[in-house]
Structure 1
Amino acid sequence: MDTSDAAFVVDRHLPDLFTENITAKALRTAQTAIKALPDFFPEYVPQDAGQGGRYTLREADFWTCGFFPGTLYTILERAVRFPQSLQLPPEISILQFREQLLTLCRTWAEPLYNMDTRTDTHDIGFIIMPALQLDWELFGNRKSLDSIVRAARSLASRYIPSARAIRSWDILKTRDMEILDQEDNMIVIIDSMCNLDLMYYAAHHTQDPSLAEMATAHAETLLRSHLRPEHVVLSNKPKVCYTGPWYSTCHVANIDPKSGTLKQRLTAQGYAHESNWARGQAWAILGYAQAYLSTKDWRFLHASCGLAEYFLYRLETTPAYATPGRYVPLWDFDAPIDDETNIVRDSSAGMIAANGMLILSQALAGFGSGMLASRFRETAMMIVQDTISFALAPETATLVCASNGYISAEDSTPGWSFEGMLKYGTANNNEQARKRYANHGLVYGDYYLVQFGNRLMKMGIV
């Protein structure tokens, strides 16, 4: 698929990435939930009847707090860099919309500045980067860059040199398992790969190589601790695919902090310790693709390719009764399906993986692997196309402008509301989890949906 073919696919099959509905939903949540700041941020929208389709808010120190401000800034990026992509009503001008959205973005980002010194979490990259990176890049706001650098150094405080890794969680507690001793245990989760971008970004802006060196050491360690080689025999091998090793991932690795030796592979959010949790696989695809862009280390590129191929293989071998929606991942590829009429999926996993595959396609095209680049670009679009067809909430929203120029949003059909963009997300369906919840809209699923559209525009496909 060349660039012109990709553009055709977007125009024909992915127009919902850029509709007024996407913009209106983000704007409405920004206006209605703003009174909860600085203490609470949107996390998920229940799909259960009687829930009203409203965002459930989560305490500000939870790891997801940066994604909604990031979504607002991603839409603002469209207004600044790609104004032609915004489908606004004729009575609303681009400049009018941009000015009002900028005010909301700054308001939602403000509480994040107070979090950049947190050393109690490895998720500081998820908290800081989605909004503040764009604030720096779009407007040159030095306050945001300074916050990114402080956050990177806060994350670096969790680096254990003897283990060559960054501690993810201090402890692990589920209903059937506890790891509390930090002297002999170091819990590292695959999600951590996507927080390394914070350290690379800060290193490049400060010329502090130590931040990048720690990030690279962490990525190297996870190649051994989290990636599991998968030997797949294909009956119908595609003409073009990655021919190196394919990998699944574990969610949690317990590492000896003194020696770096792998002690256990576990899960906290997947079905079982040895199963393939879909979102963990997606974090790995995206994280290693980003690490390659920052380092040009071929090991990371090959890891991401092998992870992406295995993710695609698991999608395409999904049982036939799980279609339509084949490319909307099951929440865990190995979890049993007890009720074929109520299959638990995770649309956010698909969105994360699709973004990773787009980055892969750019990296591969950069040194002449055009056919493999096309494969991953086409696969990413296929995932997003199927997700939009299957999981995009049919309860849409529209923009309205009052006589005083104030822009707001309302349900397209009065009383028919769902504040999230996508449905069928799964935050945590592990039966031993302290909070088990599935089948909902997820703030990070929506963030990566909007990000995907912006990536297509930056690639010149839209």
Structure 2
Amino acid sequence: MTLPYAFTNSSDEDNGGADSSPPTSATPSEADSPDTSYVPILLTPELFAENITAKVLRTAQTALKALPDFFPEYVLQDPGCDGRYTLREADFWTCGFFSGTLYTILERAVRFPQSLQLPPEINALQFHEQLLILCRAWAEPLYAMDQRTDTHDIGFIIMPALQMDWELFGNRGSLDSIVRAARSLATRYVPSARAIRSWDLLKKKDIEILDQEHNMIVIIDSMCNLDLMYYASHHMQEPALAEMATAHAETLLRSHLRPEKVVLSDKSKVSYTGPWYSTCHVANINPKTGTLKRRLTAQGYAHESNWARGQAWGILGYAQTYLATKDQRFLHASCGLAEYFLQRLETSPACVTSGRHVPLWDFDAPIDDKNNIIRDSSAGVIAANGMLILSQVLAGSGQGLLASRFREAALVIVQDTISFALAPEKAKLACASNGHIRAEDSTPGSTFEGLLKYGTANNNEQARKRYANHGLVYGDYYLAQFGNRLMKMGLV
């Protein structure tokens, strides 16, 4: 089936906002054609530079003593800060991302060794051996988490490192852990609501939801944990896991996606013209019926606003869910979320001059200080990964124009993110006389352990912990993943 798209700016293309039903198939506005255009890769070499490898290696070495109790989460970027990762307790939802970033660099060493740009004094095989030892050390504490039933984020915890370990080395222990984690996540599935409970409770300064009998909290981030269930289901031939994941994705089409007006403002651009969507962050669902009780936010600006990272989780999560199911509703959902995300980037306030494709932390939040505009670089790179998946899917089904649309958009987002948010404090690799490879500041005393700056974990004014303008471990992970996706697609 061909998805709808158009070149034209026409008021009768406004088919969003009037219907709150979930995405369905749509009739194309015109026949699609193969993608015969050459799309230049504009990304700077920084995406694959020695700096990326050196920073990840250095954190892996210097923070190793914190295992198994603590993992990197964020890097403060305010003047006077030391540029080191702030570590978070191991049961926090972000604990799997640094291990995943380390394995992403290892995947480059195994599959794309030419991409590492190692200095001549570094022996590639020695580097691989030392990196593998570090990867295993950082993965080891994650195995103990696969039976946790207290979190829906077990996919984020387990998959980034252990999926790579299984696929690169055939480590059956990693696959077994993935399967156990998927079964653990399945215990949070509520059949009557056809959804997986995200949080057991919600406690903010302005709102508390504590009663699970009459409330079920589901967040848009949960879409990116479904890949764990599909992966385990397909490997172990346990269809029930996939069925739960699909039911959850179906429920969120109704509970989280908000129809938005389709605006085709640029006659020269191809755009997806099916329904466009924003997403809420949190939905409170009746656990007995699955009906929506209330939409709200925990990390965005306001309950009705468009929190950028939530939109990005939706783009990526529904793209991954389409890959697992081939259900067109999920493809349409991801395309509609992606197109609205791009429209919000392209219509950023005039005061957003540089880095216009680095998202505001919330697209609807007021800008109080034009000299300190709060962004979320992690939202951009998460969305860009989702758009690359969309481009592959659409190209594979002969829809080259839309494929090119989302591929080019993803590249522009990451290019702008590198130009605007890549930390200028660089690191480089060095080799001791005993062959031990280490990393050090390129400029002595100029340290920032994260790859990207201008991330925002949670800027909601009612949050119990409010923090913005910093490096974020998952921003770094998805930036590195984007580079690997490009190499797998043969684009670099």
TM-score (norm 2): 0.92
Matches within 5 A, 1:155-170: 155-170=185-200
Residues in 2 aligned to 1:268 and 1:297: alpha-carbon distance in whole angstroms: 30
Measured in 2, the distance between the counterparts of 1:44 and 1:171 equals 24
**1:3: how far off?**
8.7
SS at structure 1 position matched to 2:401: helix
User: Is residue 185 of structure 1 aligned with residue 248 of structure 2?
Assistant: no
What percentage of aligned pairs have identical amino acids? Answer: 84
1:124 is matched with which residue: 154, 157, 165?
A: 154
Task: Find 1:110's aligned residue among 127, 136, 140.
Answer: 140
Per-residue CA deviations over 1:292-324 (Å, capped at 9, x if unaligned) read: 000000000000000000000000000121121
Distance 1:75 1:233 in 2: 40
Contact 1:172 1:178 (8 Å CA) reproduced: yes
Which residue is 2:421 aligned to? Answer: 391
Alignment of 1:228-247 (within 5 A): 228-247=258-277
Tell me, in whole angstroms, the C-alpha distance in 2 between the residues paired with 1:218 and 1:188.
Answer: 10
Other structure's SS at 2:272 match:
coil
Alignment partner of 2:95: what SS? coil
Are 2:462 and 1:442 aligned? no
Q: Hey, what's the Cα distance between the residues in 2 that align with 1:116 and 1:449?
A: 26
Matched, 1:451 2:481: yes
1:265 aligns with 2:295: yes
**What code does the residue aligned with 2:418 have?**
I
User: Equivalents in 2 of 1:29, 1:330: separation in Å?
Assistant: 28
Residues 262 and 273 in structure 2, CA contact (< 8 A), matched pair in contact too: no
Q: Distance in 2 between matches of 1:453 and 1:128?
A: 21
Aligned partners of 2:232 and 2:268: how far apart in 1? 40
Q: Is the 8 A contact 2:233 2:242 kept in 1?
A: yes
CA deviation map 1:59-85 (0-9, x unaligned): 000000000000000000000001111
Deviations 1:208-238 (A, max 9, x none): 0000000000000000000000013344345
Q: Does 1:9 find its partner at 2:41?
A: yes
- Distance in 1, Cα, partners of 2:120 & 2:137: 27
- Give the Cα–Cα distance (whole angstroms) in 2 for the partners of residues 233 and 450 of structure 1: 32
Match of 2:356 among 326, 336, 346: 326
Taking the TM superposition and a 5 Å limit, the aligned residue runs for 1:67-86 are: 67-86=97-116
Q: Shift of residue 2 of structure 1?
A: 6.2
Cα pair 1:4 1:461 within 8 Å, conserved = no
1:355 aligns with 385
- Amino acid in structure 2 at the alignment position of 1:22: I
Q: Which amino acid in 1 is paired with 2:221?
A: D
Aligned counterpart, 1:92: 122
Q: Distance in 2 between matches of 1:4 and 1:75?
A: 31
Residue from 61, 72, 90 that aligns with 1:42:
72
Question: C-alpha displacement at 1:50, in angstroms?
Answer: 1.5
Question: Following superposition of structure 1 onto structure 2, how do residues 227-306 of structure 1 map, counting pairs within 5 Å?
Answer: 227-306=257-336
Structure 2 CA distance for aligned equivalents of residues 349 and 238 of structure 1:
27
Structure 2: how far apart are the matches of 1:233 and 1:135? 44
Residue number in structure 2 paired with 1:417: 447
Pairing 1:380–2:413 present: no
**Alignment partner of 2:345: what SS?**
helix
**Deviations for 1:385-439, whole angstroms, at most 9, x for unmatched residues?**
0000000000000000000000000000000110000000000000000000000
Between the aligned partners of 2:36 and 2:139, the Cα distance in structure 1 is 35
Contact between 2:195 and 2:247, CA under 8 Å: does it hold in 1? yes
CA deviations on 1:95-150 (whole Å, 9 max, x unpaired) are 11110000000000000000000000000000000000000000000000000000
The equivalent position to 1:149 in structure 2, one of 145, 160, 179, is 179
1:170 CA displacement = 0.1
1:172 to 197, 202, 206: 202
Give yes or no for the alignment of 1:217 onto 2:253: no
- Quote how far apart the aligned CAs of 1:243 are: 1.1
The aligned runs of 1:129-140 (5 Å cut-off) are: 129-140=159-170
Gaps of 5+ in 1: none
Distance 1:5 1:451 in 2: 23
Contact 2:41 2:491 in 1 (8 A): no
| Cα deviation code 1:375-394 (max 9, x no counterpart) | 00000000000000000000
Deviation readout 1:174-227 (Å, 9 max, x if unpaired): 001000000000000000000000000000000000000000000000000000
**RMSD of aligned alpha carbons:** 1.1
Q: 1:3 to 1:110 in 2, by over 3 A?
A: farther
**Whole-Å separation in 2 of the counterparts to 1:232 and 1:369:** 20
Q: Helix, strand or coil: the match of 1:321?
A: coil
Alignment partners' CA distance in 2, 1:330 and 1:426:
9
Please tell me the residue identity of whatever aligns with 1:9: I
Equivalent-residue separation in structure 1 for 2:126 and 2:115 (angstroms): 16
Larger fraction in helix: 1
Contact 1:228 1:249 in 2 (8 A): yes
The answer to whether the 8 A contact 1:400-1:407 is kept is yes
Of stretches 316-325 and 378-387 in structure 1, the one that deviates more from structure 2 is 316-325
The residue that corresponds to 1:202 in the other structure is: 232
TM-score (norm 1): 0.98
Please point out which of 33, 51, 55 is paired with 2:63: 33
Alignment-mate amino acid for residue 66 of structure 1: G
* Matched residue SS, 1:203: helix
Paired AA for residue 436 in structure 2: Y
Q: Once the 2 structures are TM-superposed, how far is the Cα of residue 49 of structure 1 from its aligned partner?
A: 1.3
Query: What is the CA distance between 1:456 and its match in structure 2?
Result: 0.3
Q: Which runs of 4+ in 1 moved over 6 A?
A: 1-4
SS in 1 for 2:351: helix
Deviation at 1:276, TM superposition (A): 0.1
In 2, are the aligned partners of 1:344 and 1:438 still within 8 Å (CA)? yes
| TM superposition shift of 1:454 | 0.1
Q: Would the aligned equivalents of 1:286 and 1:357 in 2 still touch at CA under 8 Å? A: yes
Q: Residue 366 of structure 1 is aligned with which of 392, 396, 405?
A: 396
Q: State the SS of the aligned residue for 1:340.
A: coil
